[in-house]
Structure 1
Amino acid sequence: MTAPALQARGLVKRYGRVTAIDGADFDLLPGEVLAVVGDNGAGKSSLIKALSGALVPDEGTVLLDGVETHFHSPLDARHAGIETVHQTLALAPAMDIATNLFLGREIRRTGPLGSVLRLLDRGAMRQQAQEQLDALGIETVQHIGQLVETLSGGQRQAVAVARAAMFGRKMVIMDEPTAALGVKESGQVLDLIRRIRDRGLPVVLISHDMPQVFEIADRIHVHRLGRRAAVVRPADATMSQVVSLMTGALRPGDPDAPPNLVDT
């Protein structure tokens, strides 16, 4: 088996008497799209926050490329090469596309203009931003200098995904990237995810849209009651079986259960 790009073992997070993560395990393999599914309250969001630095677990270990890692903030995870696309997208509507792609990572001019006056090299940012959009095959954006507030929902999602792919050296995590999009725009985002995977960058996809999960995922991580219930391949399972695993109506090892790829 290929060594995981990101691995977690025994993660625990408690809020008083509430246990959000209950000994959760996680494995993301290089170059795959791993879908994380689970019922509301299953602990998916808490798990992803622990993997992206937004939450510090009380117990357990996280390994990045086999090396134990401790994230104390999302900035730590970003420095390690993990980019997250949240549902809110974290875009600045009044700024243009290029500025949003480099938000927090702006390129400054060389010499005193950059070091003393801290002027931005907007030309370099626009050029690199356009190269990134071209590399990902994003053709719905008319001009790199277009304000984000003038973009459609799908175009904004494409900008957020492009930014993550631009700076994510290790992996990209996407939280419900098609939740507010129509059929056509959702298809465009799924195409973007495929292109990111084809570039060798693994993707974690959190989604409630089961048809989309089965369309794009290489493996499906089923989360239930704060921990990993099973990992299955879409080719080996039906949507009904995955939903049954999510709700507990079906358990790994049951005669009607699909093959489980991990020990739970």
Structure 2
Amino acid sequence: MSIQDIDPPTQAPVLEVRGITKRYGHVEALRGVDLVVPPATVVGLIGDNGAGKSTLAKILSGAEQPDSGELLLRGERTTLATPVAAHAAGIETVFQDLALAPDLDAASNLFLGRERRRTGPLGWLGWLDRSGMRREASEAFERLGVQIKDVTGPIASYSGGQRQGVAVARSAFWAHTVLLLDEPTAALGVVQTGQVLQLIRRVRDSGIAVVLISHNMPDVLAVCDRITVLRLGRRVSDLSVEEATTERLVADMTGASIADDPRTANIDCEAGST
């Protein structure tokens, strides 16, 4: 399949990336990448090492700035100059390190950096509404199906799956546009992976779009509605999950699907010069 064969999603996108480029010195990490994220949809973003997935995630989270191209949120062009700007736009990201505070409890991690103060004079003095935050955290975990027996226990005592669940739930709690997940099932067991995938489905069903970056092909096929493949900094395919198979995705990732197409042969030639 060639780039010209890509059929765009029919739903109006909540997030759209057009022609994004990013260069680090002589290395072109992104070469005019497009990405379309419809509302309440899980979009898989896959590709081999060096395909540009992490660079694109950093741009969407406000941690990096593109050299050219544009970002549109709900059809309006926007600039995500900082992670704070991305948060204000309703975009939340869960990176592989999870960014959890191990000595704090689950509720405190959910509100980390966004703590609620008590009302009245005590709030003016900086007193936190800990009971209110724990109540809201418990409701959020229950709504998303994250099984936390004691939200007052330190994160350090949780299993890997529970920590991942807290990290995803925290971002889903604050996101109102897009949730970016970078390898959320890495290093998890089968049962814990299943719990995280179910959590992703619940986030989507709540109306939030999800961009899932993963090397795990079965996970991508199990939970995604659409799958975008990057190769050497370019988008080479954008498929519905009904169109996608492991063989087809691997072919797109490795270039086997475009090797014999004269219209796209120049992609490999250009990439070889970087």
Q: For 1:83 and 1:180, how far apart are their aligned partners in 2?
A: 22
Q: Which runs of 5+ in 2 are unaligned?
A: 1-9, 262-274
Confirm or deny that 1:100 pairs with 2:109.
yes
1:16 Cα offset (Å) = 1.2
| CA distance in structure 1 between the partners assigned to 2:255 and 2:134 by the alignment | 50
* 1:232 maps onto 2:239 in alignment: yes
2:91 corresponds to: 82
* Greater mean alpha carbon deviation, residues 91-100 or residues 225-234: 225-234
Which of 74, 80, 99 aligns to 1:71? It is: 80
Structure 2 counterparts to residues 1-264 of structure 1, below 5 A:
1-115=10-124, 117-139=125-147, 141-251=148-258
Give the letter aligned to residue 189 of structure 2. G
| Matched letter for residue 84 of structure 2 | L
The residue type paired with residue 164 of structure 2 is Q
Under a length normalisation based on structure 1, what TM-score does the superposition of the two structures give? Answer: 0.93
Cα deviation for residue 252 of structure 1 reads 9.6
Corresponding letter in the other structure for 1:138? V
Instruction: Return the alpha-carbon distance in structure 2 between the equivalents of residues 98 and 251 of structure 1.
Output: 49
| TM-score computed with the length of structure 2 as normaliser | 0.90
Q: How far did 1:226 drift? A: 0.7
AA of the residue aligned to 1:158: G
- Percent identity over paired residues: 53
Residue deviations 1:149-201 (CA, integer Å, cap 9, x gap): 00000000000011011100111010000001000000000000001111111
Unaligned runs of 5+ in 1: 255-264
User: Following the alignment from structure 1 to structure 2, what is the Cα–Cα distance between the partners of residues 202 and 35?
Assistant: 11
* Per-residue deviation, 1:13: 0.9
Decide whether the 8 Å contact of 1:34 with 1:217 is kept in 2.
Answer: yes
Aligned-partner Cα distance in 2 for 1:34–1:252: 25
SS in 1 for 2:55: helix
Higher RCO (C-alpha 8 Å, min separation 6): 2
Cα separation, partners in 2 of 1:244 and 1:145, compared to 1, 3 Å: same
